[in-house]
């Protein structure tokens, strides 16, 4: 609780000491702080006088104005940041874009966790909890089943703080994990527009994800050429 019983004394310099001492009294308790120069001492004393004149009380425990107390920094984890991002983007996306957003966040979020392996849910369980519940605002309004609730509780504890994403080692580990995740995915079936038959093609290649640089094949220049389409101009017969 702040106290308004404040008295600020003049700056003094003790004999044999080079420091300048600022003295004040809060709720009957004397406080002091020393500075190496007179200018710093005058500035600090002026701030104390200004606080008392503006009606700001001083904290008896610290002897400083309550407004000087810096708030505790709030730690935001990647999981919380990703959930808030999905919640913000959801109303402005179509069905396919919503699925793509949830898929991308559910892929990278398990990679941005601590090395804690104790009671870590399986990869399938992590993806199901993230894709079907955490990054789906419509389903998040419902009460999750115990398995999903336990998985999300583990993510709350193990998710890395957002501030750690500035570490290049954290980003490199996440990128390596993304390359492995895409490489290990089963191939998807697509329909050829010419024949109408289904063919199996990989969903992504490591080179397209930037895992390693492309190298030219033997006997080629390494330059991908665009196909040359036949001209659509009508053929004009040459004069006889």
Q: How confident is the model over 6-16, as pLDDT tens digits? A: 889 999 987 87
What pLDDT is stored for residue 118 in this prediction? 73
- The domains of the chain are located at 6-68, 78-183
Total-model pTM: 0.51
Strands 188-191 and 20-26: unpaired
Comparing 28-37, 62-71, 90-99, 231-240, the range with the smallest average pLDDT is 231-240
Please list the residues that pair with 31 across neighbouring strands: 24
CA neighbours closer than 13 Å in the CB half-sphere of residue 150: 8
What pLDDT is stored for residue 188 in this prediction? 52
What pLDDT is stored for residue 186 in this prediction? 55
* 121 has pLDDT over 60: yes
Question: Among 151, 135, 149, which residue's Cα sits nearest to residue 82?
Answer: 135
* 99 has pLDDT over 60: yes
Which of 59-63, 156-160, 174-178, 212-216 holds the top average pLDDT? Answer: 156-160
Question: Among 163, 157, 166, which residue's Cα sits nearest to residue 73?
Answer: 163
202 φψ region: left (φ > 0), alpha (ψ -120 to 50), beta (else): beta
């Amino acid at each position: 609780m702040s106290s308004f019983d404040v008295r600020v004394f003049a700056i003094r310099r003790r004999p044999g000491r080079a420091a300048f001492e600022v003295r004040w009294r809060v709720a009957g308790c004397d406080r002091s702080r020393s500075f190496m120069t007179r200018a710093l001492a005058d500035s600090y004393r002026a701030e104390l006088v200004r606080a008392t004149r503006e009606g700001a009380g001083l904290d008896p425990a610290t002897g400083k104005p309550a407004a000087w107390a810096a708030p505790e920094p709030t730690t935001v984890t990647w999981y919380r940041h990703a959930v808030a991002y999905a919640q913000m983007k959801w109303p402005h996306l179509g069905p396919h874009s919503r699925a793509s957003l949830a898929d991308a966040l559910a892929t990278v979020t398990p990679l941005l966790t601590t090395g804690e392996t104790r009671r870590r849910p399986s990869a399938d369980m992590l993806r199901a909890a993230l894709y079907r519940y955490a990054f789906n605002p419509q389903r998040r309004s419902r009460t999750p089943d115990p398995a999903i609730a336990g998985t999300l509780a583990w993510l709350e504890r193990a998710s890395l703080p957002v501030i750690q994403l500035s570490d290049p080692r954290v980003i490199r580990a996440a990128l390596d994990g993304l390359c492995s995740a895409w490489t290990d995915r089963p191939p998807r079936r697509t329909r050829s527009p010419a024949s109408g038959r289904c063919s199996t093609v990989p969903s992504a290649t490591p080179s397209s994800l930037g895992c390693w640089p492309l190298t030219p094949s033997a006997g080629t220049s390494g330059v991908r050429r665009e196909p040359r389409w036949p001209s659509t101009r009508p053929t004009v017969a040459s004069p006889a």
